């Protein structure tokens, strides 16, 4: 996966760089300042852990893949350590358990748990994929009461799904983030987190661009998965995603509206199929399988978009139409364009 110019630095680590018998000891030493990693019954065949980490101005995001494991941050370690940050653990697959004073909290696939490193705990992983989002205590001091109150709990507010989408987008498109976008995304995440923990009018207002960017991510993915359905329209999307018409219109306002976006994506998908020399379907079949029910309307819209007919696209190779761009702006492009106009958070959060 190619990084864009001036992309942020990512730190990558893998125990697979060590001999199997040394893999557990290697990762155990790496995380020793944070916790004591408990050795499984047998590590002779190796202990697989790999991660990719990057920093967003005081927010440390780490994408993990790991064998099942357990760890402990003892009272002595918590007292001596200079690490007192919070962390959001996003379980992408499996389960995460955190225990303190005989109270155990479980986060399942798709859930987010907030944990403070200022206190001792025991944890256990049953899964392979998760993301940790480290929150610097100085940077996030302005929302410390809300973070401490949510400590060792699964986040379940109405905005949690959008926060999860935001985190996933950052992780999946980290290779596209440039250095000059870090501050925008950091402030955006901070505002979204504040609104998720305490949805006051001010917090929701500050987080509006980030909320809309996450909603746009969800809506775009839904549209792409349902292109073949002729009933794909505003009402269908709103009902399926539990989103109001007003919210959906606001999300797509700067992109020409919902109907235009659906039409554009459908035409792009048809163009890709029609210009594929290995795709021998009829033009009408390709159109119908991407949600078009009126061939005359499809042909007219296609020619307006690409300046040649669907039949011409089907008869020629992609090379004959050099310069026809079928790519859409990336999710990160939408995210940065939207959040760059956001109302700044407090100076402490910037």
Q: Would you call 107 helix, strand, or coil by DSSP?
A: strand
Average pLDDT over residues 30-48: 90
Tell me what pLDDT residue 342 has: 47
The residue behind tokens 């799904």 is 161
Distance in angstroms (rounded) separating the CA atoms of residues 319 and 45: 50
Residue from 266, 340, 349 nearest 310 by CA: 266
Q: Any alpha helices (H) in 66-180, and if so which ranges?
A: 75-80, 144-149, 160-172
Give me the residue label for tokens 């661009």: 209
**Rounded Cα gap, residues 214 and 342, in angstroms:** 14
Mean pLDDT of 271-290: 92
Stated pTM of the model: 0.82
Question: What's the pLDDT at 96?
Answer: 95
Terminal-to-terminal C-alpha distance of the chain: 30
Q: Each residue of 54-105: pLDDT tens digit?
A: 999 999 999 999 999 999 999 999 999 989 999 999 999 999 999 998 889 9
At 109, is the secondary structure helix, strand, or coil?
coil
Average pLDDT value for the chain: 88
- The percent of residues above 90 in pLDDT, for the chain, comes to 72
Whole-angstrom distance, CA of residue 22 vs CA of residue 298: 61
CB proximity list for 150: less than 8 A, separation 6 or greater: 114, 197
CA 92 to chain centre: 11
pLDDT higher than threshold 60 for residue 275: yes
Evaluate if residue 319 carries a pLDDT over 80: no
| Residue 339 scores a pLDDT above 90 | no
Q: Could you read off the pLDDT of 151-209 as tens digits, one per residue?
A: 999 999 899 999 999 999 999 999 889 888 898 899 999 999 999 999 999 999 999 88
């Amino acid at each position: 996966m190619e990084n864009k110019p001036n992309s942020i630095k990512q730190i990558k680590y893998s125990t697979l760089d060590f001999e199997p018998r040394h893999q557990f000891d290697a990762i155990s030493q790496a995380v020793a300042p944070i916790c004591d990693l408990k050795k499984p019954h047998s590590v002779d065949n190796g202990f697989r852990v790999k991660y990719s980490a990057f920093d967003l101005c005081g927010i440390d995001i780490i994408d993990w893949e790991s064998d099942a494991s357990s760890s402990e941050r003892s009272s002595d370690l918590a007292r001596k350590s200079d690490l007192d940050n919070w962390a959001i653990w996003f379980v992408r697959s499996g389960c995460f358990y955190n225990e303190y004073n005989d109270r155990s909290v479980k986060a399942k696939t798709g859930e987010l748990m907030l944990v403070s490193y200022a206190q001792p705990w025991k944890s256990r992983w049953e899964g392979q994929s998760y993301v940790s989002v480290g929150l610097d205590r100085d940077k996030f001091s302005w929302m410390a009461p809300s973070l401490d109150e949510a400590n060792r709990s699964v986040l379940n507010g109405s905005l949690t799904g959008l926060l999860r989408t935001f985190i996933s987008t950052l992780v999946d498109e980290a290779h596209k983030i440039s250095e000059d976008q870090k501050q925008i995304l950091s402030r955006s995440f901070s505002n979204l987190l504040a609104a998720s923990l305490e949805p006051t009018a001010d917090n929701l207002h500050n987080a509006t661009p980030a909320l809309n960017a996450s909603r746009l991510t969800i809506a775009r993915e839904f549209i792409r998965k349902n292109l073949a359905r002729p009933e794909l329209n505003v009402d269908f999307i709103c009902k399926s995603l539990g989103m109001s018409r007003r919210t959906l219109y606001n999300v797509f306002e700067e992109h020409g509206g919902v109907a235009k976006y659906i039409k554009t994506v459908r035409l792009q998908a048809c163009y890709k199929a029609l210009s594929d020399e290995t795709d021998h379907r009829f033009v009408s079949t390709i159109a119908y399988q991407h949600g078009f029910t009126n061939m005359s309307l499809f042909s007219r819209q296609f020619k307006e978009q690409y300046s040649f007919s669907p039949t011409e696209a089907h008869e020629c190779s992609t090379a004959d139409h050099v310069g026809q761009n079928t790519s859409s702006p990336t999710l990160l492009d939408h995210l940065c364009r939207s959040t760059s106009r956001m109302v700044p958070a407090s100076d402490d959060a910037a």
